[in-house]
Structure 1
C-alpha cells in the first residue's frame, strides 16, 4: 500500500496530499486581499509553484486545474496571468467556474493535481 504524505496539515485540510505518484493541492487563495485579480492570481500561482516544488514536482507535470472566480468578468484578466505562467506544452485539463468564496475579498482560488 502506498504511503500518504501530507504537507502543512491543519484541522480541516492539508495544503497538499501526496499519494501513489500524484500530488493533490488544496485550493489556494492570495494573502493579499486588497489586490486585483492579476495580483491575486500571481500570488496564488507562486504559492502553487512553491507547494509543487516542496512535493517534488512542478507545473510542467500538472494534470488538472480548477479555477474559481468571484466574477466571470475577471476571466480574461486571470487568463492573462495564467497563460504567462503555464508551462509551454503543459497545459492541464482545466475548468473555470464562478463561485462564492469563503471571504468576500478573495477574487480567485485555484486547485491543481500534478504527477510526481
Structure 2
C-alpha cells in the first residue's frame, strides 16, 4: 500500500496530500491581487499552482482534474481567456466550473487541482 504524505497540515486541511503517484491540492486563492481584475487574480492563482507542481516534480501537463469556483459566473469568459492560454493543449484536465460564494468577498475565484507525479 502506498504511503500518504501530507504537506502543510493545519487543523482543518492539508495544503497538499500525495498518495502514490497522485497529488491532491487544496484550493488556491489570489495572494497578491485581491484588488485586481479576474484576469489578474486568475494569473496569480495559476502561477501558484504551477510553482507548487514544480516543487513536487510535476507540471501542468500532468493535471488530471481541476475545479474552479467563480464568485460571479459573469466572469467565466475572462477567467477562461487566461486558463486557455495557460493549459497545455492536448493535456487539459477534467474540469468543473461553478459559481459560489467564496470565503473572502475579494476573491474572484478559487481553483483546486489534482495532478500526477
Q: TM-score band, normalised by the shorter chain? A: over 0.9
Q: Matched residue of 2:45: which SS?
A: helix
Which residue does 1:110 correspond to in 2? 111
* Structure 1 length-normalised TM: 0.95
Which residue does 1:78 correspond to in 2? 79
Question: 2: CA distance between counterparts of 1:88 and 1:7?
Answer: 30
- TM superposition shift of 1:6: 2.0
Query: Aligned Cα RMSD in Å?
Result: 0.9
Which residue does 1:10 correspond to in 2? 10
Question: 2: CA distance between counterparts of 1:23 and 1:85?
Answer: 20
Is there any run of 5+ residues in structure 2 with no aligned partner, and where? Answer: none
Q: Matched residue of 1:28: which SS?
A: coil
Structure 1's consecutive aligned runs of 4 or more residues displaced over 3 angstroms after TM superposition are: none
* Structure 2 length-normalised TM: 0.95
Q: Matched residue of 1:111: which SS?
A: strand
Equivalent pairs counted in the alignment come to: 116
1:1-116 alignment, distance < 5 Å: 1-31=1-31, 32-116=33-117
- TM superposition shift of 1:20: 1.4
Contact map agreement 1:18 1:55 (CA 8 A) in 2: no
Question: 1: CA distance between counterparts of 2:27 and 2:87?
Answer: 17
